[in-house]
Amino acid sequence: MTSTPPPDGRMAKWILLLTLLIALAARLAVGQEPEAGGPAGDLYERAKRASVEILVDDHLDGSGWFTDAEGLLFTAAHVIDRPDRRIEVLSPAVGRLDAKVAAVDLGHDLVLLRVEPREGGYPALKLGEKLPPPGQDVFLLGAPLFRHHLLLRGMVASDETAFGYYTGKYVESIHLAATVQSGTSGAPWLNRSGEVVALQSGVMSMNSIPIGVANAIPLAALRALLESRRTTATPTLGIAVEEPWQQGRDLLNRYPPRSEGLVVKILQDDKPAARAGLKQWDLIVAADDQKVRLSGELLRIVRGKRPGDPLKLTVLGPDGTGQREVTVPLGKLEVAWPPPEDAPD
């Protein structure tokens, strides 16, 4: 079948339209989508101007970015580590500035910092509406291994949050397919339009070697801390657990065949679970009478409560026998972080 071109006066427009349609079909045929506000253009320059490097007691310990023109910044909580540190930010746009903690959310590895307002404000990055779907590219602007203002590429690997145990606590994050290095913690992950869609927190590793999966803090947590500007109260058991099928045969043989639950691998001294009588290698089979097979199931029950609330655990002993119930009053992750004196009412 052939098509007849339009009259001569419209020939140029017809050829242009046909060329665009062919280009679009070729792009879709190789699995690419049309770029709309993609990484070309000024994304890098805008991200660079709004990004900062975090100096803790004069050492470059991480990355961050201005989230509003009045001087609020985000970084990862583990970059600051504890409340008695001296914090500065190093900005390519405005230089070196003192910073103070405005609010903390340890359950999401987040710190909101504040610097003094300045005339004209600060260059800031907007939060996006949502995370791009799995398979889409995202871009990280940070300072890996003391190299300044590098733009790195990653890919969204999941549309669900998960809980990872690092820095001595569980952090709720999303997974990105990306290889990132020390110094990028707290850096912004950007969509193709240059909007922030996550904050870099940690990496998945095996034998201390990164394996190409990054943990990033989701938009909902960023937005909640920015809106409240208050240190959160994240409930905690003070343990780390693993699923039975992650264990070696010697440990599996302790339990009845096909046992399901969560193995207590780390029991923090003088924390809620230890004080309530849990033991290492206990198997938690239910929480508040709900069966738990996956670590996320237990963590979501815990995070749905408040510090001080009781959590009833049904537990088997380390030999798979002696089922018992243990009631644990939940603790708080942010206990060492007092609310800032100038926190809003």
Residues 158 and 206 in one domain: yes
Predicted pLDDT at 210: 81
Pairing mode of beta strands 324-329, 209-218: unpaired
Asked if 244 and 309 sit in the same domain, the reply is yes
Distance CA 196, CA 217 (A): 11
Q: What is the CATH number of the domain that holds 308?
A: 2.30.42.10
pLDDT at 258: 83
Looking at residue 319, its pLDDT comes to 81
In a domain, 314, yes or no: yes
Query: What confidence score (pLDDT) does residue 30 get?
Result: 35
The answer as to whether 285 is a domain residue is: yes
Are 163 and 296 in contact, with CB atoms under 8 Å apart?
A: yes
Q: Which residues of 299-308 are buried (b: 16+ CB within 10 A; e: fewer)?
A: bbbbbeeebe
- Residue 162: per-residue pLDDT: 96
Same structural domain, 186 and 274: no
Same-domain pairing of 282 and 314: yes
> How much is the pLDDT for 107?
98
State which residues form the domain around 93: 45-114
Q: What is the pLDDT of residue 245?
A: 87
Compute CA 202 distance to the chain's CA centroid, rounded to the nearest angstrom. 8
pLDDT at 248: 86
Same domain assignment for residues 261 and 219: no
> Which two structure tokens, joined as six digits, stand for 226?
């920015």
Q: Is residue 291 part of a domain?
A: yes
Last residue of one domain, picked from the residues 187, 211, 228: 228
Q: Are residues 166 and 190 in the same domain?
A: yes
Number of domains present in the structure of the chain:
3
User: With the C-alpha atoms ordered 292, 293, 296, 299, is the resulting torsion angle positive or negative?
Assistant: positive
Contact 244, 318 (CB under 8 A): no
In this structure, what CATH number is given to the domain that contains residue 89?
2.40.10.10
Q: Is residue 125 part of a domain?
A: no
Are 59 and 93 in a shared domain? yes
Torsion over CA: 14, 15, 17, 21 (sign)? positive
223 and 241 housed in the same domain? no
Give the pLDDT of residue 339: 78
| pLDDT tens for the 345 residues of the chain, in order | 333 333 444 444 443 443 333 333 333 333 344 344 444 458 999 999 999 999 999 999 999 999 999 999 999 999 999 999 999 999 999 999 999 999 999 999 999 999 999 999 999 999 999 999 999 999 999 999 999 999 999 999 999 999 999 989 999 999 999 999 889 999 999 999 999 999 999 998 888 888 899 999 999 999 999 999 999 999 999 999 999 888 888 888 888 888 889 999 999 999 999 999 999 999 999 999 999 999 999 999 999 999 999 999 999 998 878 899 999 999 999 999 987 755 554
- Final residue in a domain of this structure, among 191, 209, 228: 228
In a domain, 289, yes or no: yes
Question: Which one of 195, 228, 261 terminates a domain?
Answer: 228
Distance CA 86, CA 127 (A): 27
Model pTM score: 0.85
- Tell me 249's DSSP state: H
Tell whether 93 is covered by a domain.
yes
- Quick one: pLDDT at residue 176? 98
